[in-house]
Amino acid sequence: MKNFTTGNKKGCRLAASLLVCAFAAFSVFANAQMEDSQIQPGAVPPQINFGVLNGPSGMCFAQMFDYVPYINGVPVNYEVCASPDVILPKLLKNEINIGILPPNVAAKVFNASNGSIVCAGVSGFGMLNILTSNQNIKSLDQLKGKTLYVAGQGATPEYLLRYLLAQNGIKEGEIELDFSIPANELAAALLSGKIENALMPEPFKTVALANAKQNSKNIYVAVSLQEEWQKIQAKNAENNAILQNYPMTMIVVTRSFAQKYPEYVKDFLTLAQNSIAFSVAKPEIAGEMVEKHTLGLKAAVAAKAIPNCAFGFVSAQDAKPQVEQLLSVFLQFAPNSIGGALPAGDFYFK
């Protein structure tokens, strides 16, 4: 048995390689932009360019696409990007002013490019679950000696899982981790019987359970990583300060834009918070908007997935403890994935 093996790593490491190239290619440019950025109270931007990721992390902003063409008279342009390695170069070149990134990627960009982007808030929290076709598996410990297929190598799913396994006394080699099946193929692999256990985020969990029900297949949620995280936090909490969930999606702003137009950033965040609340309150309508703006899901699937996606807005300053708690996990297992250190205090927009 392999020690937390990785299956086929080539495709899974592509995004990381592209990110490294982006840091090298644009760091000088980003530093130059930083030097030119000064706080300019009352300044008005010519436009606001907002980039979201295709898929669950972008769904909660669909309402903005329909109802926020302007902010205080300034046009808002929307762009849907396929992945972080697509949105990142656009952020570093200031083609996108406000964007969506995973927390570890945002931290690494901050550390690697002289603070060229800052965290403006968190828009999505933990939504990772282990699904199985074996009804006898109901805990992490019961996965010993088995293979667990994981969506998200080199990202939050992998390192959070490794952390939780270690916290539960499960040693390397006792569970085989396999990253060879893409996230969008895990549900089908479970249903076909090709695999027995899989760690997947939303909306893939919702899709897997819905398809299982339609096809009279038995698929179960064996472990919620959110619940496991909360157990560890409760056990380690000081002064009852339990961090209830971990962030998975971060709103970031280029530092130059935040410094020049802080009031517009604040107004944007208010509207983003409203959009998130709208999505949570009215998933059917939000689902239609998700399909309309090609954010990665059909309306019916999005409507079912949204209630399980843990959308919610927390400002950067308020989210700092949660962000640092998660980034500390990356620091433990893969320091380079966040740039070798927790980001400094000015990473968090005020």
Q: What is the pLDDT along the chain (350 residues), one digit of tens a residue?
A: 333 333 444 344 434 444 444 444 444 344 444 444 455 667 999 999 999 999 889 999 999 999 999 999 999 999 999 988 899 999 999 999 999 999 999 999 999 999 999 999 999 999 999 999 999 999 999 999 999 999 989 999 999 999 999 999 999 989 999 999 998 899 999 999 999 999 999 999 999 999 998 888 899 999 999 999 999 988 876 544 556 799 999 999 999 999 999 999 999 999 999 999 999 999 999 999 999 999 989 999 999 999 999 999 999 999 999 999 999 999 999 999 999 999 999 999 99
Write out the chain in H/E/C secondary structure.
CCCCCCCCCHHHHHHHHHHHHHHHHHHHHHHHHHHHCCCCCCCCCCCEEEEEECCHHHHCCHHHHHHCCEECCEEEEEEEECCHHHHHHHHHCCCCCEEEECHHHHHHHHHHCCCCEEEEEEEEECCEEEEECCCCCCCCHHHCCCEEEECCCCCHHHHHHHHHHHHCCCCCCCCEEECCCCHHHHHHHHHHCCCCEEEEECCHHHHHHHHHHHCCCCCEEEEEHHHHHHHHHHHHCCCCCCCCCCEEEEEEEEHHHHHHCHHHHHHHHHHHHHHHHHHHHCHHHHHHHHHHCCCCCCHHHHHHHHHHCCEEEEEHHHHHHHHHHHHHHHHHHCHHHHCCCCCCHHHECC
Q: What is the pTM of this model?
A: 0.87
